[in-house]
Amino acid sequence: MDIKREPLGPAVDPKNLRVRSLNAHQLLRGGELEGANQPAHLDGEELERYVQERVLTTTLDSAVAWARSNSFFPLAFGLACCAMEQFQTAGPRMDIARFGFEAFRASPRQADLIILAGRVSIKMAPVIRRLYDQMLEPKWAISMGACCSSMGVFNNYALVPADKFMPIDVHVPGCPPRPEALMHGVLKLRDLVQNDPDAGWRERYDAVGTEERP
């Protein structure tokens, strides 16, 4: 019989979470590591700083971001035809409650997501701006449909694209967008909030100073 010996596979990947947690465990408790990568043994002040920098802060941020992103409270705000598709998104087939967003609040003070569903006319724009200003930080905005993202089908005197007066995070195209499309937009926002919560949106949209003053 010919016995052939082969190595099992690539060496232990130091990026593997299990390996890293083992490393961290051994770093904190002391002891020797097996395997190729042996980080410098930290001690005392360096160890404390290492832990502070890496472990605690990041976890809190991402935990908070995770909580925020999975529980948007949309503002019950429908303007025109897109509102009908927004209803359908909250309806039984494309259920927005699966993701935790079914609590449509009527009051802007209690909402953190405004879904602009429909066409924004020049009379309505200051009203929407006021609503947006009344929402508390952190807040996000989704512009649903072609009419508020650009001017949509109507290129005339009466409409304003929403970007002109408020910062928008996600634009969902469509006229009206299918419930699946709106869901995709909301989930994209969820990813945005989870992974990069402080995208510096105030600086990005030059919205510094738009917080409502007491």
Residue type, 147: C
d(CA 181, CA 183): 5
Which bin fits 96, alpha (ψ -120 to 50), beta or left (φ > 0)?
alpha
The size of the interface with other proteins (CB under 8 A), counted in residues, is: 36
Q: Give 65 or 96: the residue with its C-beta nearer to other proteins.
A: 96
Q: Which of 122, 136, 199, 207 binds other proteins (CB under 8 A)?
A: 122
Q: Per CB under 8 A, does 136 bind other proteins?
A: no
Beta carbons of 181 and 175 less than 8 angstroms apart: no
How does DSSP classify residue 54? I
Q: Least distance to other proteins from the beta carbon of 49, Å?
A: 50
Q: Per CB under 8 A, does 98 bind other proteins?
A: no
Q: Which of 30, 35, 91, 100 binds other proteins (CB under 8 A)?
A: 91
Q: Which of 10, 92, 209, 214 binds other proteins (CB under 8 A)?
A: 92
Nearest to 199 by CA among 188, 212, 213, 183: 188
Q: Give 55 or 97: the residue with its C-beta nearer to other proteins.
A: 97
Q: Per CB under 8 A, does 162 bind other proteins?
A: no
Per CB under 8 A, which of residues 47..86 are in contact with other proteins? 76-81, 83-85
First-last CA distance in the chain: 86
The two structure tokens encoding residue 37: 């990568």
d(CA 171, CA 163): 10
Residues that bind other proteins (CB under 8 A): 76-81, 83-85, 87-88, 90-93, 106, 108, 118-119, 121-124, 127, 131, 147, 153-159, 175-176, 178
